Structure 1
Amino acid sequence: MEGDAVSVTQDIVLAVWGQAELFLWSMLRPWNAYQLGILLALLFAAFLLERLLGPACREWMRQREGWPKWRMRLLVMLHRRLRLIFFVMLIWPVCWIMREVTWPSRSYLLAIAGELALAWLVIAIVTRLIGNSLLRSLVRYAGWTWVTLSILNLTHEAQALLDSAAIDVGETRFSLWLVVQAVIVIGALIVVARFTARVTSARVRSNEDLSPSMQVLVVKFMQVLLYGAAFFIGLRTVGVDLTGLAVLSGAIGVGLGFGLQKVVSNLVSGIIILLDKSIKPGDVISLGETFGWINSLGARYVSITTRDGREYLIPNEDLITGQVVNWSHSNDFVRLDIYFGTAYGDDPHKVRKIAVEAAMSVGRVLNERPPVCHIVGFGDSSVDYILRFWIRDPTQGLTNIRGNVYLALWDAFQEHGISIPFPQREVRMLGDEPGSEPKIG
């Protein structure tokens, strides 16, 4: 089998070499030499036009400041290919004139060069619509290669050459031609799946009947389903037998299960979080020393943004196994407590009333759930109180609302003459009393 493949490859290479040799000998004919000279002259003319008109085009582009970004990107892309554009604009009129004046065979090389240049230019412009740079480069070079082989009538030889380089795995034959087909088909299907996933995600997120966590779950499920279907349909389309692949994937899965326990645990934990709706995007949570709101739910981690702008990526497993405080799980109401003390000479009934009124004067404190103030103890130098109040917007922060209530208490106490005591200590030195003499022993 290997000897037959080598023999086929040699035959193809010899056939292509024979065609190349005939082409080189044909260059010695007068009309072919004339066409080659005209082709070089047109290339030189396109180079001169780019040098002459390129700076003026660049200056004109700089003056278009108010144009949309997509139009400016298109102009930049066209400016980079001015030489190819000028060459296409020059060669096709020359081909048409020569076909009218001379025989079609005497403009054959020029027509091939014009078709190649036009096809390369069109592919370069069309592939610019692809957002991913790597995918754009792959599609562009693959398109240039296929168009060149098609115009030169070498597709059959190239296909046979790629098909001759193959290996047999069981009953399946893997060749370079099969790999190329698989890459093209799977790539096209993935592009379609990506577009479908984007459209589906936009519609799911616009559906107000679904909760945020359920929206994330539906979007993730659709993405996995579409990309998986694109991959397996692509393999089946090119003729790959998936029976052996299923057995191989099962064996690989068992091996990876031991080495990727944490990854699998995070994935399963993420699915559990999405299903039980314990946390969802927008919730305010506390996990250890981390306090913030849920920015997004991922397959492996949860993104939490804190008040200081830091973004923490918490593994899903930590949210399942650890103690999480969800400030907005069932509702947005949050009760906050602050402690303070006043002097023993101040009336406690008056202090409680002033404290409640001061808390209610702060904008974010809820009046429908009025604050309450209670005595919690008699300290060494003060009567101790607790002031409790409710808010319903924990995403706006907790420290700032506590600070505003403390400031309101300070202003109210200053206005009504309520004093806030602080510990005082008196230190006496032995021997400092009047009339006493220090003892010398």
Structure 2
Amino acid sequence: MEPADQNDPRAAVEASPEPPDLGAEEALNQALELGQELFEQGTTLFDSLLRPWNFYQLCIAAGLVLIAILLRRLLGPRIRAWMASREGWPKWRMRVLVVVHRRLMPIFFVILIWLAVWIMREATWPSRSYLLGIIAELATAWLFVVFVTRLIRSPVMRTLVRYGAWIYVTLAILNARDEAAQILDSVGFQLGDVRLSLLLVVQGIVILAALVTGARFISGTTAARVQANEDISPSMRVLVVKAVQVLLYGAAFFIGLRAIGVDLTGLAVLSGAIGVGLGFGLQKVVSNLVSGVIILLDKSIKPGDVISLGDTFGWINTLGARYASVVTRDGREYLIPNEDLITNQVVNWSHSNEFVRLDIYFGTAYHDDPHSVREIAIEAAKGVDRVLGFRPPVCHIVGFGDSSVDYILRFWIRDPTGGLTNIRGNVYLALWDAFREHGISIPFPQREVKVLEGSRLETRQAD
């Protein structure tokens, strides 16, 4: 065999073990060459569409679109009326019907075009229905992508995944994935030891979107099952749901980075910088996060508890990572930081049990018999709804005032979520009615003015 000529460029390429690195100019030239090649292929495809049989297939596809639109207008109202009559169906089934009803036109088109492809393949040569087959595959794939992406709740994520999937299936059906990948890979730049290209960015977005969507679906399903489990306490349910969400989203993020070839060892420096930033600028945020975890672990406060913090009285609606939502009786929702629930004095009216004792004060005249007053007050409190009978009310004298004998009436309730002011008001009304019925008076302060002997009382008329 003769030795290879050193001046022959083909011999130099065959002798080199690895291709040389392309510079920015060479990468740009390669991208332009690929673009020109695709443009030539597109021109050839356009010229082929003008051929008689291909043009006829395009006309058939356009006619099927018109027929699908007419079927949508004719059958759409009837299907909607039939859906309205399905009152006893579950919500998930009705949602599926709503999604299908909104996509009636493409569904009819897919059915009609596959029927047309089958008829033409039976009646003519396969080449006479080749273009219709491609259109049918594209329409079916696009429709399938629409239904699958409806499972994504986030509108932004749903749009990104939907358009990305449409582009991918279109390139796959048209056998243009390799050319598109070469063009995207040729557009990039060198960042240290890693070369970032447009293809790598697109792959990263698609992989991260798919992983985050899967993590969100799994976390939502897990949260629904945990919340429905009555054997787990409310605070532990919140803690389990938060832990599952952190693990799933964290795993999705790191797996996505590894899938696109990012070296995670470089994140050590970034995590150190983030730690310094947390130490100086995010002290309150971190304190609230840690306080929220402590509250969930020690179960001191859980959703549904009735608490008092300062002038705020209400029940815990939700426990978040940074704050607790407290809803008051007047419908206001206060977002209290978790740190305040740890450092301040909190009255939990339903921590260990739901029984709450309430006290009200009143006074009667000195000429009323205190023994009768106590018995009447106790009987009046017993007749009020929400006042517990197996923990009977008690009434005691607490002092002799300037104008009245002062009493305290104590009674128990077991539903503080129903309010405290309203039950006190009902007991006061019951005392008022009982005292009027038995002739017991409620005095008020009186003042007497005495004119001393030798003094004169003068009156003056206003000018």
CA deviation profile, 1:197-252 (whole Å, cap 9, x unmatched):
23433443444454322222222112111111111112112221111123223213
Matches within 5 A, 1:148-297: 148-297=170-319
The residue that corresponds to 1:37 in the other structure is 56
TM-score, normalised to structure 1, is: 0.88
Contact 2:313 2:328 in 1 (8 A): yes
Question: How many residues matched?
Answer: 434
CA deviation profile, 1:38-80 (whole Å, cap 9, x unmatched):
3134313532552365144324423532224555554554454
Say which of 31, 50, 64 aligns to 2:69. Answer: 50
| Percent of paired sites with the same residue | 65
Contact 2:61 2:132 in 1 (8 A): no
The residue that corresponds to 1:96 in the other structure is 118
Moved more, 331-340 or 282-291: 331-340
CA deviation profile, 1:15-59 (whole Å, cap 9, x unmatched):
21221222233345xxx3332233134313532552365144324
Inter-partner Cα distance in structure 2 for 1:242 and 1:439: 96
Root-mean-square deviation (Å): 2.9
Q: Secondary structure at the match of 2:127?
A: helix
The residue that corresponds to 2:41 in the other structure is 19
Cα pair distance change 1:88/1:314, threshold 3 Å: same
Moved more, 367-376 or 216-225: 367-376
Q: Secondary structure at the match of 2:262?
A: coil
Matches within 5 A, 1:292-311: 292-311=314-333
Contact 2:152 2:213 in 1 (8 A): no
The residue that corresponds to 1:347 in the other structure is 369
Matched, 1:5 2:24: no
Moved more, 148-157 or 17-26: 17-26
Contact 1:373 1:387 in 2 (8 A): yes
Matched, 1:84 2:106: yes
Q: Which amino acid aligns with 2:134?
A: I
Cα pair distance change 1:183/1:404, threshold 3 Å: same
The residue that corresponds to 2:135 in the other structure is 113
Contact 1:381 1:422 in 2 (8 A): yes
Q: Secondary structure at the match of 1:64?
A: helix
Inter-partner Cα distance in structure 2 for 1:229 and 1:402: 53
Contact 1:283 1:329 in 2 (8 A): yes
Contact 1:342 1:418 in 2 (8 A): yes
Moved more, 88-97 or 403-412: 88-97
Q: Which amino acid aligns with 1:114?
A: A
Contact 1:47 1:83 in 2 (8 A): no
Offset, 1:282: 1.6
Inter-partner Cα distance in structure 2 for 1:363 and 1:259: 53
Say which of 406, 410, 415 aligns to 2:437. Answer: 415
Inter-partner Cα distance in structure 2 for 1:154 and 1:52: 34
The residue that corresponds to 2:382 in the other structure is 360
Inter-partner Cα distance in structure 2 for 1:119 and 1:403: 67
Cα pair distance change 1:416/1:77, threshold 3 Å: closer
CA deviation profile, 1:284-342 (whole Å, cap 9, x unmatched):
11112210111111001101111222222111122122221111223323221111110
CA deviation profile, 1:132-189 (whole Å, cap 9, x unmatched):
3333322322221111101111101111122222233322222222222222222222
Inter-partner Cα distance in structure 1 for 2:459 and 2:263: 107
Cα pair distance change 1:90/1:276, threshold 3 Å: closer
Cα pair distance change 1:357/1:27, threshold 3 Å: closer
Contact 2:222 2:241 in 1 (8 A): yes
Cα pair distance change 1:100/1:284, threshold 3 Å: closer
TM-score, normalised to structure 2, is: 0.84
Q: Which amino acid aligns with 2:251?
A: A
The residue that corresponds to 2:156 in the other structure is 134
Inter-partner Cα distance in structure 2 for 1:92 and 1:334: 71
Inter-partner Cα distance in structure 2 for 1:437 and 1:247: 93
Matched, 1:66 2:88: no
Inter-partner Cα distance in structure 2 for 1:37 and 1:328: 77
Moved more, 241-250 or 48-57: 48-57
Offset, 1:12: 1.7
Offset, 1:429: 9.3
Offset, 1:98: 3.6
Q: Secondary structure at the match of 2:84?
A: coil
Cα pair distance change 1:3/1:199, threshold 3 Å: same
Offset, 1:269: 1.5
Moved more, 376-385 or 87-96: 87-96
